[in-house]
Amino acid sequence: MFLLFPCKRILFSPAYFFAKAYLSISYEYKFILNINRIDTFFCCTKPPPIQYTICFIHSFSRIFIMKDSTVTSSKPLSSYILDYVFMAIGAFLAAFSISVFLIPSNLIDGGIVGVAMIFGYMFKQSLFPLFLFIFNLPFLYLAYKHIGKVFLIHMLYAVILFMGCVVFIESVLHVEFHGDSVEVVVIGGAILGIGLGLIIRYGGCLDGTEILGLIINKKTGFTVGQVVLVCNIFIFGGAGIAFQDWHPPLLSLITFMVASKVMDSVIVGLDETKSMLIISKHSNAIAQAIIHELGLGLTIMYGRGGYSGDAREILYVIVERLQLAELKELIYREDPSAFIAIENLHEVANGNQGSKTDRSQKWIESIMSRAFGSKKNSNDS
């Protein structure tokens, strides 16, 4: 995203002072950013005769000015746009779940959202978005101080969108779901988990308790999950005391568990892939069979036995769940005493595994050849 303006035109404009923190002036220099995995925008300079330019900078990283250097970016502009689009979708889904399913059933969410919902029940439900923003203000400051500007912008974007969606659903759509408790817990929790998962996966956040957990984790031995769990115990317990009824908090706890499970699936992905380590004296034969019969790629590593001290080859393979049984059968066909270790993978990116179509075709061909080949051999005999 390039926002380049001649310096003289906007030097004294209100836009300059409004965006002062994100502006940088360059003179015959190009900017290069210290790229990391966090979202990064980049800027550039126009060629002469326009030597003074102002570039919009949006980055976690520190900026280094280097003469005659090139501009690099961690990902294309379309990817940044998609991040904000998916965060907007997540904010709407989370607001829809809370406004349509949770609030009509007097249920709450965990974290700061849950605290804001409790105050909304105690005072006035229409003030829930305002309470959410007020209670998140300290955590917005902590996010800026301990994490960075980009995360602050993403979190602010998600919170404001969520508030707007809640107001829109309650004042315009007027949709409420009054059904069985199980339906509310499962459907509402699943939609909430999808919404929160999309927000977190694409760089945003609605709840300040995770930020508090990150800070406490840096200073103590407690994990983020432990901090969030303790906070939610107090929140759900406080809801039971405030409502003088423990039925809604218990249902809220189950809803929170459903939402957390779905949220984890959205964040880490739904890839049904597994990794396998294979140690065998016949590693070369196994490797060739895996490549030619299943169409899978693999990596050969070299290790040494801790007890025997013997050098040996270790095969590392990534395989889809449906091919796992075929792979194990292939390994034990070549070496019945082979050692294997299997681990679940949440996400796999890049790599030289071949296309899924080619792998599936070879896998099907191997099954068909074994089935019809064995039938043919029996007929020949």
In a domain, 229, yes or no: yes
Return the amino acid letter for 357: T
Per-residue pLDDT band for 286 (boundaries 50, 70, 90) equals very high
Per-residue pLDDT band for 15 (boundaries 50, 70, 90) equals very low
Q: Taking residues 160-176, what's their average pLDDT?
A: 92
Same-domain status, 57 and 100 = no
Per-residue pLDDT reduced to its tens digit, 222-272: 777 788 888 988 999 988 888 888 898 999 999 999 998 898 888 877 667
pLDDT at residue 133 greater than cutoff 80: yes
In a domain, 203, yes or no: yes
pLDDT at residue 32 greater than cutoff 70: no
Sheet holding 311-320, edge to edge: 298-304, 311-320, 273-279, 339-345
pLDDT at residue 299 greater than cutoff 70: yes
Average pLDDT, the chain: 76
In a domain, 71, yes or no: no
In a domain, 250, yes or no: yes
Q: Taking residues 106-121, what's their average pLDDT?
A: 91
Comparing CA positions, the residue from 59, 86, 91, 89 lying closest to residue 75 is 59
Per-residue pLDDT band for 309 (boundaries 50, 70, 90) equals confident
Per-residue pLDDT band for 325 (boundaries 50, 70, 90) equals confident
Q: Which of 46, 66, 86 is the last residue of a domain?
A: 66
- Helix ranges restricted to H, 269-320: 283-289
pLDDT at residue 8 greater than cutoff 80: no
Q: Which of 208, 240, 268 is the last residue of a domain?
A: 268
H/E stretch holding 37? none
Compute how many other C-beta atoms are within 10 angstroms of the C-beta atom of residue 144: 15
In a domain, 10, yes or no: yes
- Helix ranges restricted to H, the chain: 7-10, 14-18, 77-96, 111-122, 128-146, 149-168, 181-183, 189-201, 209-219, 224-243, 247-268, 283-289, 321-334, 356-380
Q: Taking residues 99-115, what's their average pLDDT?
A: 92
Per-residue pLDDT reduced to its tens digit, 41-64: 333 333 433 333 333 333 333 333
Distance CA(251)–CA(108), nearest Å, equals 9
Whether 99 contacts 93, CB under 8 Å? no
Q: Which of 236, 268, 300 is the last residue of a domain?
A: 268
Same-domain status, 98 and 84 = yes
Percentage above 70 pLDDT, the chain: 71
In a domain, 27, yes or no: yes
Same-domain status, 357 and 307 = yes
Token digits of residue 91: 């904010």
What's the domain range around 104? 77-268
In a domain, 354, yes or no: yes
Token digits of residue 182: 């199980």
What is the reported pLDDT for 17?
43
Whichever domain contains 365, its CATH number is 3.30.70.120
pLDDT at residue 355 greater than cutoff 80: no
Same-domain status, 258 and 316 = no
3 state DSSP class of 315: strand
pLDDT at residue 93 greater than cutoff 90: yes
Comparing CA positions, the residue from 50, 74, 48, 49 lying closest to residue 61 is 74
Token digits of residue 365: 């061909």
Same-domain status, 164 and 190 = yes
Same-domain status, 352 and 295 = yes
Please report the sign of the dihedral spanned by the C-alpha atoms of residue 362, residue 364, residue 367, residue 373: negative
Percentage above 90 pLDDT, the chain: 36
Q: Taking residues 323-348, what's their average pLDDT?
A: 89
pLDDT at residue 366 greater than cutoff 60: no
Same-domain status, 169 and 282 = no
Q: Which is more confidently placed, 337 or 75?
A: 337
pTM above 0.85, yes or no: no
In a domain, 300, yes or no: yes
Distance CA(297)–CA(279), nearest Å, equals 16
Same-domain status, 131 and 245 = yes
Same-domain status, 170 and 299 = no
- Overall number of domains in the chain: 3
Return the amino acid letter for 125: Q
Same-domain status, 194 and 132 = yes
Same-domain status, 97 and 169 = yes
Count the alpha carbons within 13 Å of 132 in the hemisphere toward its beta carbon: 29
Q: What is the DSSP letter of 40?
A: B
Compute how many other C-beta atoms are within 10 angstroms of the C-beta atom of residue 79: 12
Whether 331 contacts 279, CB under 8 Å? no
Same-domain status, 258 and 296 = no
Distance CA(237)–CA(82), nearest Å, equals 38
